[in-house]
Amino acid sequence: MTMKAFAFYGRVSTEDRQDPTSSQAWQLNRANDLIAPVDGEIVAEYFDIGQSRSLPWQRRPEASRLLAALSDPQRGFDAVVIGEPHRAFSGNQFGLTFPLFVHHGVEFWVPEIGGRIDPDSEAHDLVMTLFGGMSKGERNRIRTRVRTAMKVQARDGRFLGGRPPYGYQLADAGPHPNPEKARVGQRLHRLEPDPVTAPIVRRIFEQFVAGAGYASLARDLTEDGIPSPSAHDPERNRHRASSGGVWAKSAIKAILQNARYTGHETWAKQRRDEVLLDEHNVALGHTSKLRWNDQADWIHSTEPTHTALITTALFEQAQDIIASASRPTTGNRRTPNPYLLKGMVHCSICNRKMQGNQLRRNLHYRCVIKNDYPAADHPRSLSVREEHLLPIVDNWLSELFSADNIEATAMTLERSQQTPQATTDELEARRVIKECDTELANYRAALKTAPNEAVAGWIAETVDRRKAAELRLRKMTTGEGMTANEIRELVERMQGIVAILQSASTEDRRRVYEAAQLSITYDHSRKMAKLHASPDPEVWSSVRVGGGT
């Protein structure tokens, strides 16, 4: 009997602490048992880790790579086998995906069918549709159970995890009530006052009720040398390390609106809604967005659960003042200006990010010192025009990736991998993957209406994404980054991207700057800009400019 070549597809979501290794093993075992009678052999594997079943195949990294391989005559397999339909499909995904297999003449094998799916069989189509509905229903039931359980636990006063509010710290609250979790050492936590920051919270409420505003509170706290919330806990606020400990009015307002300072647990302040990624292309599925719930829908514990920092009466007084000062806004919002360097330009004096501002149709980055911050040696206002910075940035990147500097740039990137960043943990990696999936989905949607020549660009993209996935896996399992040859290949390819920066779209240019982790420190007194870049090879590999890589 001639060997029949198969490709395997599987998926595991790590949100509920599933083990990807064992999950892949048992799915592969089921697939091998199914194809063994026909002397089948799996010659290629596509396995998505950390991807929700709600994502259509086009937005899952490995599944989309498999779909791209279907059109390749040299793909090396004639059939695809899965380990379980619940893992592969949800809702109507099978009906949107299987026609591609039929179109390219690739068989699709499923254990629950007992072999190959017959495209002309109504029974097979009905069974797969049923499994898709069951998979979607299972996900919805799990979500409902979790939300309902957390709602009850919040009312009962259990701490549900997350970052402790400013003014509190975590303390041990005994073993976990679930015997299995307690057996492996998991414990509950509760909030207790932080002896350093708890008095600051009380001071903010008392002075605000006495008549102080957000600006004066921020200024007084900064002048007294009290670190801001982000400066007090810099390890958990690396993205705000440049604030210099200066208090912002937004931080004051967030503290004043936090009901947990009354000693009651609060939950459901925000919700995660699923909205269509593209209303004109429903097949792309949904994306999650965090949105604020009305305060009337917030869940509060019936009894105090931790030591209160303020009285309920004081909190309600503060809320009345905030509500009376609020004014409804009317009119249409202006379309935001496309600031290419938003969040990347910092003031050399105060280290704060300079804010985008339009003046006489020119885009500027300004650093304004108002009454809420001490002026010191800082001018009241300083600014720099974006059109003056962009040529400097583009010329610097061009030199960085020029033929004469390729070797030096590659060596710098190679050295940068020797000290892995603390943020490259598994949860952060999954967050980046999901963001990239959402962004790439828009490109794939455009390809559906593009000419056939665009397929080459799609294939190039999937190859690059594959390399990035391999790099992530290598980092998680062995701690190793890209090899020297891979880095030099990447740097050489970046020459082409940098060369067309000036003619690229605004979105593409900004994507390149972000991938380079560009940071600009503007010195107003000397009218000079200091540039710094810490490019992540993993991010560089997915940069696309003008439809190519």
What does each of the 549 residues of the chain score in pLDDT, given as a tens digit? 678 999 999 999 865 567 888 889 999 999 999 999 999 999 999 999 888 888 889 888 899 999 999 999 899 999 999 999 988 998 888 988 999 999 999 999 999 999 999 999 999 989 998 888 888 888 788 878 877 887 787 777 777 777 788 999 888 878 887 787 777 787 888 889 999 999 999 999 999 998 888 888 988 898 888 888 888 877 665 555 445 567 888 889 989 988 889 888 887 777 777 777 777 777 677 777 778 788 777 787 888 888 899 998 999 899 888 888 754 444 444 545 678 888 889 888 877 888 888 877 788 898 887 654 555 577 878 889 898 888 888 888 777 666 666 666 666 665 555 444 433 444 455 555 555 565 555 545 555 554 444 444 544 554 455 556 556 555 554 445 555 566 566 656 565 556 656 666 777 777 778 777 788 999 888 888 888 876 654 444 444 444 433
Q: Which of 145, 178, 202 is the endpoint of a domain?
A: 145
Q: Are residues 315 and 352 in the same domain?
A: no
Closest CA to 63 of 90, 41, 36: 90
Q: Are residues 15 and 44 in the same domain?
A: yes
CATH number of the structural domain spanning residue 119: 3.40.50.1390
Edge-to-edge strand ranges of the sheet holding 362-368: 355-359, 362-368, 381-385
* Domain-embedded: residue 370: yes
User: What pLDDT is stored for residue 542 in this prediction?
Assistant: 44
User: What pLDDT is stored for residue 445 in this prediction?
Assistant: 54
Answer yes or no: are the C-beta atoms of 512 and 493 closer than 8 Å.
no
Q: Which of 87, 110, 145 is the endpoint of a domain?
A: 145
- Cα distance between residue 222 and residue 275, in whole Å: 41
User: What pLDDT is stored for residue 361 in this prediction?
Assistant: 74
Chain Cα centroid distance, residue 97: 26
* Domain-embedded: residue 340: no
User: What pLDDT is stored for residue 199 in this prediction?
Assistant: 93
Q: Are residues 372 and 503 in the same domain?
A: yes
Q: Are residues 99 and 188 in the same domain?
A: no
| Tokens at 149, concatenated | 């359980």
User: What pLDDT is stored for residue 223 in this prediction?
Assistant: 85
pLDDT in tens, 53-64: 888 898 888 999
* Domain-embedded: residue 546: no
* Domain-embedded: residue 319: yes
User: What pLDDT is stored for residue 459 in this prediction?
Assistant: 43
* Domain-embedded: residue 274: no
Q: Are residues 83 and 28 in the same domain?
A: yes
Taking the model in full, what pTM does it have? 0.49
User: What pLDDT is stored for residue 118 in this prediction?
Assistant: 94
* Domain-embedded: residue 522: yes
Angle (nearest 5°) at CA 195 between 191 and 196 = 115
- Cα distance between residue 168 and residue 198, in whole Å: 7
Burial (CB count within 10 angstroms: exposed 0-12, middle 13-18, buried 19+), residue 406: middle
* Domains contained in the chain, number: 3
- Dihedral, 466, 470, 475, 477 alpha carbons, nearest 10: 140
Q: Are residues 350 and 320 in the same domain?
A: no
Chain Cα centroid distance, residue 203: 35
Q: Are residues 371 and 518 in the same domain?
A: yes
Assign 140 to helix, strand or coil: helix
Q: Are residues 182 and 320 in the same domain?
A: yes
Q: Are residues 242 and 112 in the same domain?
A: no
Angle (nearest 5°) at CA 454 between 453 and 456 = 85
H/E stretch holding 34: helix 20-35
* Domain-embedded: residue 285: no
Q: Are residues 319 and 466 in the same domain?
A: no
* Sign of the Cα pseudo-torsion (201, 206, 208, 212, in order): negative
User: What pLDDT is stored for residue 241 in this prediction?
Assistant: 46
Residue 68 per-residue DSSP state: H
* Domain-embedded: residue 109: yes
CATH number of the structural domain spanning residue 197: 3.90.1750.20
Q: Are residues 110 and 231 in the same domain?
A: no
Q: Which domain holds residue 182?
A: 168-265+301-325
Answer yes or no: are the C-beta atoms of 351 and 373 closer than 8 Å.
no
The set of residues, in sequence order, having a beta carbon less than 8 Å from that of 53 and lying 6+ positions away, is 11, 13, 86, 87, 89, 90, 135, 136, 139
User: What pLDDT is stored for residue 442 in this prediction?
Assistant: 55
- Cα distance between residue 268 and residue 271, in whole Å: 6
Answer yes or no: are the C-beta atoms of 30 and 84 closer than 8 Å.
yes
| Tokens at 252, concatenated | 């004051």
Q: Are residues 321 and 413 in the same domain?
A: no
Indicate the pairing of strand 362-368 with strand 355-359.
antiparallel
Closest CA to 153 of 122, 178, 130, 185: 178
